[in-house]
Amino acid sequence: MTKTVLDVGNCNPDHSALSRMLLSTYDVRILRTHELRDSLELLQKEPVHLILINRKLDMDYSDGLEILKVLKKDEEWKVIPVMIITNYPEHQEAAVEAGAEYGFGKLQFAESATHERLSRYLDKKVTA
């Protein structure tokens, strides 16, 4: 079953790199938002299986943890797994404390630990 991933707050080059990594490995479709407002609007219309939030949002460089906190306070959305995209372990730890699953950084796309984390929520592509 194709899973839906929401990518929040990544600039165009990072969104492209993330999309390539996800699409090459997992049976996913990827939706994209840039901030809290458009993320909440999309979540009201679309079922999402995993949310990936950039630690620093591309539109205004605000903290992606704030979106995480809003999502985790909402009864409807708090059940959706969320990961923060950051290379810094201390920011990963802060995200986990706020309710996220341990995420990964942009420098870690190819690492097995990243794919172990993603595989908990996404189905791998079936190769012929």
pLDDT confidence of residue 84 = 98
Report angle CA 19, 73, 100 to the nearest 5 degrees: 40
Instruction: Report the C-alpha dihedral over residues 33, 104, 79, 7, rounded to 10 degrees.
Output: 10
Q: Is residue 50 scored above 80 in pLDDT?
A: yes
- For residue 27, give Cα distances in angstroms to 9, 48, 54, 63: 22, 13, 21, 29
Give the pLDDT band of residue 127 (cuts 50, 70, 90): low
Model pLDDT, residue 2:
95
Check pLDDT > 90 for residue 126: no
The pTM assigned to this predicted structure is 0.96
Question: For the domain 3-119, what is the CATH superfamily, name and number?
Answer: Response regulator (3.40.50.2300)
pLDDT of 70 strictly over 60:
yes
Mean pLDDT of 57-85: 96
* Whole-number average pLDDT of the chain: 96
Amino acid identity at 99: G
Q: What is the pLDDT of residues 6-25, one digit of tens each?
A: 999 999 999 999 999 999 99
E strand or H helix that includes residue 24: helix 12-25
Share of the chain above pLDDT 70, in %: 98
The yes-or-no verdict on residue 128 having pLDDT over 60 is no
| CB-based contacts of 101-106 (< 8 A; 24+ apart in sequence) | 103/52, 106/14, 106/17, 106/18
Beta bridge partners of 3: 28
The bridge status of strand 3-8 relative to strand 50-54 is parallel
Region 119-127: mean pLDDT is: 89
pLDDT higher than 70, residue 124: yes
